[in-house]
């Protein structure tokens, strides 16, 4: 059995015990309207048990995920308040003045207190305290304030108060648990991002060692005296490292190969990733890189500028410029303009 089932059975047994006291007429000579005593029982028990088992019962998963009160029908609230009004007065009307302090009459103090405790547990504090106010006023008018307090009103108030304090504590614990879960999720996300960055840094270091390692080794071996070919290799290695830093999202093995081929034939290639590729799926990013590699393969410009675009339709812009001497003019001229469209 679940904890809820156990508590429901306990509530059922306890309210039945309180109501059973109303059937034991220890002073039958004081009873003048017995049907009111029986009617109060027949009204109290069904409504109380309805609140225990049906009204306000919440979906189990929703209860775990949220502390919000259950969607309570208006007739359920009305029934609880009707019981508080009628049952708090009917037994006293059923007996003479001498019998008002008898247990089969005063059971209503504990009975209504138990019902309002259940209502409080169902997270309806306004309804619960309204019912307690009705009980306190009714019993004080019939018995007097001090005698009503001595015959169980204090206990009923303590029950409802304790139930409210428990609900507040549970809600606070649930909020703390939810906040802790959010912190754990944020910590896990941060740790995952840090792990990803560490892997990315390791990849960059490996590529840097692959690109610059051989030329650095030759530089050390020759004491810094490099041949022209070695100097050119060093410049290409430096440029490839800049590519990794400036435009890593534009690069794959094919694009790197085409950029290196362009530089070997004497072209200057510059990459600028200005954040235009965020949010593009990896499949579409592969297509962009493939198109970029094809453009570089056909390019004959002396200088090629590759720049990501924040435009909603254009992902990458490739611009090629040639020297003025080759074009027969005074300024460099644009001989390549290609826009790679953003996949839809």
**Quick check: 155 pLDDT over 80?**
yes
- Asked whether 315 and 279 are in contact (CB, 8 A), the reply is no
Give the pLDDT score at 99: 83
When pLDDT is cut at 50, 70 and 90, the band that residue 9 belongs to is confident
**Quick check: 327 pLDDT over 50?**
no
Strand intervals (E) in 202-266: none
Q: What would the mean pLDDT of 265-294 be, rounded to a whole number?
A: 86
| Least confident segment among 128-132, 208-212, 255-259, 305-309 | 208-212
Instruction: Report the DSSP beta bridge partners of residue 314.
Output: 341
pLDDT by residue (tens digit) across 174-216?
888 888 988 888 888 888 878 877 887 777 667 666 766 776 7
Maximum distance among all Cα pairs of the chain, rounded to whole angstroms: 128
Instruction: Report the DSSP beta bridge partners of residue 270.
Output: 305
**Given phi > 0 = left and psi -120 to 50 = alpha, else beta, which region is 224?**
left
Give the pLDDT score at 212: 67
**Given phi > 0 = left and psi -120 to 50 = alpha, else beta, which region is 127?**
alpha
**Quick check: 21 pLDDT over 60?**
yes
Q: CA-based Rg of the chain, rounded to a whole angstrom?
A: 42
| Least confident segment among 100-109, 121-130, 144-153, 244-253 | 244-253
Give the pLDDT score at 61: 40
| Residues 265, 245: Cα–Cα separation, whole Å | 23
Buried b or exposed e, range 278-315, using 16+ CB within 10 angstroms: eebeeeebeebbebbbebbeebebbbbbbbbbeeeeeb
pLDDT by residue (tens digit) across 221-261?
766 676 777 777 778 887 887 887 777 788 888 988 898 89
Alpha helices in 54-144 (DSSP H): 60-65, 74-87, 90-94, 103-121, 125-143
């Amino acid at each position: 059995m679940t904890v809820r089932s156990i508590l429901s059975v306990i509530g059922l047994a306890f309210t039945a015990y309180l109501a059973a006291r109303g059937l034991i007429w220890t002073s039958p000579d004081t009873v003048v309207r017995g049907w009111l005593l029986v009617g109060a029982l027949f009204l109290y028990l069904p409504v109380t048990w309805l609140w225990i088992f049906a009204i306000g019962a919440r979906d189990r998963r929703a209860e775990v995920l949220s502390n919000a009160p259950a969607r309570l029908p208006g007739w359920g609230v009305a029934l609880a308040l009707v019981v508080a009004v009628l049952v708090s007065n009917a037994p006293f009307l059923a007996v003479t003045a001498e019998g008002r302090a008898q247990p089969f009459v005063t059971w209503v103090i504990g009975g209504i207190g138990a019902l309002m405790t259940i209502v409080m547990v169902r997270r309806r504090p306004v309804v619960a305290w309204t019912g307690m106010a009705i009980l306190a006023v009714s019993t004080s008018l019939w018995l007097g304030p001090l005698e009503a307090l001595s015959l169980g009103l204090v206990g009923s108030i303590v029950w409802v108060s304790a139930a409210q304090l428990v609900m507040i504590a549970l809600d606070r614990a649930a909020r703390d648990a939810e906040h802790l879960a959010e912190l754990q999720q944020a910590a896990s996300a941060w740790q995952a991002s840090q792990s990803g960055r560490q892997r990315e840094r390791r990849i960059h270091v490996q590529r840097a060692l692959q690109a610059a390692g051989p030329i650095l080794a030759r530089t050390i071996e020759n004491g810094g005296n490099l041949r022209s070919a070695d100097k050119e290799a060093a410049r290409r290695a430096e440029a490839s490292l800049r590519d990794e830093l400036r435009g890593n999202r534009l690069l794959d093995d094919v694009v790197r190969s085409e950029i290196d081929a362009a530089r070997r034939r004497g072209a200057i290639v510059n990459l600028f990733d200005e954040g235009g590729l965020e949010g593009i799926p990896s499949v579409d990013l592969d297509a962009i890189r493939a198109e970029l590699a094809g453009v570089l393969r056909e390019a004959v410009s002396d200088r090629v500028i590759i720049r990501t675009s924040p435009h909603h339709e254009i992902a990458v812009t490739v611009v090629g410029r040639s020297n003025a001497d080759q074009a027969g003019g005074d300024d460099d001229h644009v001989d390549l303009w290609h826009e790679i469209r953003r996949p839809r």
